[in-house]
Structure 1
Amino acid sequence: MPNDFEYEEMLNGELYVSKHILEENKSLNGKIIAQKINMEPIENQDRIKQLVKELFDSTGDNPHILPPVHVGYGRHTKVGDNFFANMDCIFLDVNQITIGNNVMLGPRVGLYTAGHPIDPDIRIEKLEFGYPITIKDNVWVGANSIILPGVTVGKNAVIAAGSVVTKDVPDNTIVGGNPAKLIREVSEKDKKIWNQKKKDYHDKRNLD
């Protein structure tokens, strides 16, 4: 395969021009697979899971995506075990998206690795860039949230619905807003509250 300068620069987080990427490295194949997922009858869950495994670079056990789903490439995204993405999520993976275990994305979450130069003279030359996004284990991203290029979301974090995440999110925190800011840490009090609710659920369920 000949050297593909533009594609390599894209994955290196440098400026590149997408139209010059060689045909064999373009994004069309991932978009075709995503289209197949979106056209598959929703009751055909086994077929959808098979296509999701074809779409992404790698998946852990039990990946679950509710169509429709949208991707840049698809093959630049890795997801861990028990991954869940609700309807209408976007994986704009011109650079790598790496997602850990037990991560949940609400409806219409956007993971955008792509960016454009601030200088308009450079931008109109169609030069662009992409920085990787990392989401660690046990993260919940609320509906309509956006995660921007270069962001790492720490383990056990919660991102409130409608947030625009422009900076790294520490482990065990709740962030929200535009731009997203620290709301508070996930505390021992949270654990006690939700363990009690879990106990109440099982107690009631066992009465049935």
Structure 2
Amino acid sequence: MIEYKREKSDFDKINKTVEHTNKLISKLNFGYHDNESILKILSEVMGYEIDSSNEINLPFNSDFGPNIKLGKNIFINRNCMFVDLGGVTLEDGVLIGPDVKLISVNHPLESARRHNVVVDPVLIKENAWIGANAIVLPGVTVGKNSVIGAGSVVTRDVPANSVAVGNPAKVIKKI
């Protein structure tokens, strides 16, 4: 976990990246793009070539961009938000339902520091499925082959081969 202070030196580089990402995301989400051009624009956002086996439906949103890491054979449905300053990683075969939010940024509870940001990565392991409108919070790992039920809020790690649902999400069975 890293804390960025709300000071010019900490946020100058971040703000330049955000501005660059916002321009590309706007270009991406307004107008028609086939999957090849979607992956090309997102490769520029993320700073590496995204594998052509991935499929991403628009609109797609990110508030930072370069800290998203995508494996292969990933499907991301419409209207997802990746808050990735702290890092968001999707391993091979991950399925992301519509309206999912993957959030790697938080704020300190102490009011004097609340304008700072605390970052903690989100990791979605191989073949996991995040259901529609689920929210995965900072520092969470969703285990290999696990399923997160629609509308769930994931506040802690989910072990491999599990189904977790609710707010906060709880494991209800093993797969």
Query: What is the DSSP-based 3-state SS (H/G/I as helix, E as strand, rest coil) of the residue aligned with 1:48?
Result: helix
Task: Confirm whether residue 143 of structure 1 aligns to residue 123 of structure 2.
Answer: no
Query: What is the DSSP-based 3-state SS (H/G/I as helix, E as strand, rest coil) of the residue aligned with 1:174?
Result: strand
What corresponds to 1:197 in structure 2?
none
Query: What is the DSSP-based 3-state SS (H/G/I as helix, E as strand, rest coil) of the residue aligned with 2:3?
Result: coil
Distance in 2 between the 1:75 and 1:101 partners? 18
Q: Deviations over 1:21-59 (max 9, x none)?
A: 2247531111211111101314x3322221122222443
Q: Report if aligned partners of 1:143, 1:162 keep a CA contact under 8 Å in 2.
A: yes
Identity of aligned residues (%): 36
What corresponds to 1:119 in structure 2?
110
Give 1 or 2 for the bigger CA radius of gyration: 1
Gaps of 5+ in 1: 1-11, 187-208
- CA shift, 1:15, in A, is 3.6
Q: Report if aligned partners of 1:90, 1:108 keep a CA contact under 8 Å in 2.
A: yes
Q: Report if aligned partners of 1:67, 1:87 keep a CA contact under 8 Å in 2.
A: yes
Amino acid in structure 1 at the alignment position of 2:44: E
Amino acid in structure 2 at the alignment position of 1:164: V
Q: Which segment is superposed worse, 14-23 or 72-81?
A: 14-23
Q: Deviations over 1:85-142 (max 9, x none)?
A: 111100101111111001111011000001011122321xx21211111111001100
What corresponds to 1:100 in structure 2?
91
Match runs of 1:1-208 below 5 Å: 13-17=2-6, 20=9, 21-23=11-13, 25-42=16-33, 44-58=34-48, 59-123=50-114, 126-186=115-175
Q: Report if aligned partners of 2:39, 2:52 keep a CA contact under 8 Å in 1.
A: no
What corresponds to 1:202 in structure 2?
none
Distance in 2 between the 1:173 and 1:94 partners? 27
Distance in 1 between the 2:113 and 2:2 partners? 16
Distance in 2 between the 1:98 and 1:107 partners? 17
Q: Report if aligned partners of 2:124, 2:143 keep a CA contact under 8 Å in 1.
A: yes
Moved over 4 A (4+): none
TM-score (ref. length: structure 2): 0.91
Q: Structure 1 57/179 Cα, relative in aligned 2: closer, same or farther at 3 Å?
A: farther
Q: Report if aligned partners of 1:66, 1:87 keep a CA contact under 8 Å in 2.
A: yes
Query: What is the DSSP-based 3-state SS (H/G/I as helix, E as strand, rest coil) of the residue aligned with 2:36?
Result: helix
Q: Report if aligned partners of 1:163, 1:180 keep a CA contact under 8 Å in 2.
A: yes
Q: Report if aligned partners of 1:82, 1:101 keep a CA contact under 8 Å in 2.
A: yes
Query: What is the DSSP-based 3-state SS (H/G/I as helix, E as strand, rest coil) of the residue aligned with 1:161?
Result: coil
Q: Report if aligned partners of 1:61, 1:80 keep a CA contact under 8 Å in 2.
A: no
Q: Higher strand share goes to which structure?
A: 2
Distance in 2 between the 1:18 and 1:168 partners? 32
TM-score (ref. length: structure 1): 0.77
Distance in 1 between the 2:24 and 2:144 partners? 30
